[in-house]
Structure 1
């Protein structure tokens, strides 16, 4: 179902945002990461960069007072907005009706924590005009929970094919970092399990109310098939966590606890064709997947070697 609003329809201005906040007696809080976009051109830029199709069902996290929601309703067939704060969540349908009369059937609002939300909960509130589960994620994510929310949604909703998120610029750099770069780490590796991720731009501080102390970054992603491996995602992510918990140590040392012993760690690394003297920052997600797949083999080999040397298993 194509969207029915015109692309140049008015978006929320700074005056609109402040009026709505005043009506609700809403004071933005750092705890909830509430920084509302007050610049219509920024909303147009985000919407355009998201490459949202006119027939898509978009998932938005943290809609706040509705700045981005209106832009997404202009671009997509339907929007499901997840908002943790019941005050703006309760006002959002009325705001949409005020600025986009008749578009209410294409919007669903779920008052929930995006870090905990399930596919079943989202399906239960699906907009009347949504053909299926969300296929795109477009969101201004709260800085303090951006990475866990992003990874949770990618895991929970395999229907998400692509999207664009706005996060703290430093987080954007980390999510999009390739192996070998200084900013590559746990977020980069785990995001790569699900998607091809790239930085899509920078957003200044003055387009928000209240203005944050740092710039924001746009991160674009396209779903990819996870690496082929005998290990499951949790096992692979355990290797990633262990490798970066002691970033400056060699993998043989960093993975000792994970594998059970230094010898077992080295056996797993060599079986995965990874240099035990390397560090986690040079490995791609495919490398971590291979290491995880060889953990049980390395443990068995280590135990056999210990037994043959007269050491109790």
Structure 2
């Protein structure tokens, strides 16, 4: 069971630690949400699971109780030392004390292809961390606690203001399954913004853009209100030239704005 609010406060006091807002340190105190996270990810004994920001170890302990092999990354030195104390008692817990942007998959063995991610993800790193994961080995499942704004960007479809480069990259590789809004009362301290438990499952045939194409899409979305043909001409790269010549075959109006072009059309450009 997760720590109660009073137990969380007591443990933080014992550790001499004050939650850092800039690191998104809002600790889960709701057992139902912890159970739902593991249930959505279908965590089973022997699964390798990456956890970002284990904090006080609530989700970590639940993963270990389910029999998972946990690869955790904790940036905060005080909390890292606390999680390290759990690792001394539990050989299935592997901790990297560092920045998740430097270690997006923790110490996950390089030859391991079958793994899952279950995490209460700090908002400040959510998009760059997700980009790093999408450029790496793809997990079979991700169950992520996110600030609602980030979840909306990830789930966004073409034609909406939230739709952007990260939406394209994510939808090309994963199915975005129904998630759950989570009340601020499920955390200590209570966050100022809404949260969403998001469920992502790798597609049977996930698609990933080449690095130069990924960069081009990011650059294009920096001027999302301009016409795609104009943006591609301005880019002046081999990829941009090829895409410009392939707009018609991909079913894209040259006057369309980037946010109006759906993921499958971006994939068609890449395949042209």
- Both proteins in one fold, TM over 0.5: yes
C-alpha distance in 1 between matches for 2:184 and 2:39: 20
Contact 1:172 / 1:199 at 8 angstroms: preserved in 2? no
State the partner residue of 1:153. 133
Contact 2:34 / 2:59 at 8 angstroms: preserved in 1? yes
- Greater relative CO (CA pairs within 8 A, separation 6+): 2
Per-residue CA deviations over 1:56-97 (Å, capped at 9, x if unaligned) read 111100010111111212224211111111211111143577
* Normalised TM-score (structure 2): 0.87
Contact 1:172 / 1:219 at 8 angstroms: preserved in 2? yes
State the partner residue of 1:222. 201
C-alpha distance in 1 between matches for 2:246 and 2:253: 10
**Aligned alpha-carbon RMSD (Å):** 2.7
Task: Look at both structures and tell me which one has the larger radius of gyration over its CA atoms.
Answer: 1
C-alpha distance in 1 between matches for 2:213 and 2:49: 29
State the partner residue of 1:20. 11
C-alpha distance in 1 between matches for 2:42 and 2:81: 28
* Normalised TM-score (structure 1): 0.76
Contact 2:96 / 2:106 at 8 angstroms: preserved in 1? no
Residues 134 and 271 of structure 1: CA distance in aligned 2, closer, same or farther (over 3 Å): closer
State the partner residue of 1:116. 102
SS state at 2:118 partner: strand
C-alpha distance in 2 between matches for 1:96 and 1:43: 20
Matches within 5 A, 1:62-211: 62-95=53-86, 104-117=90-103, 121-123=107-109, 132=112, 135-158=115-138, 160-211=139-190
Matched, 1:256 2:233: yes
Per-residue CA deviations over 1:95-120 (Å, capped at 9, x if unaligned) read 577xxxx6x02211111211111668
C-alpha distance in 2 between matches for 1:206 and 1:120: 29
Residues 22 and 136 of structure 1: CA distance in aligned 2, closer, same or farther (over 3 Å): same
C-alpha distance in 2 between matches for 1:77 and 1:260: 46
1:238 aligned to which of 212, 215, 221: 215
SS state at 2:14 partner: helix
Stretches of structure 1 that go unaligned for 5 or more consecutive residues are: 1-9, 125-130, 295-313
State the partner residue of 1:283. 261
Q: What is the number of residues matched between the two proteins?
A: 269
Per-residue CA deviations over 1:10-42 (Å, capped at 9, x if unaligned) read 332222222221111111112212111122232
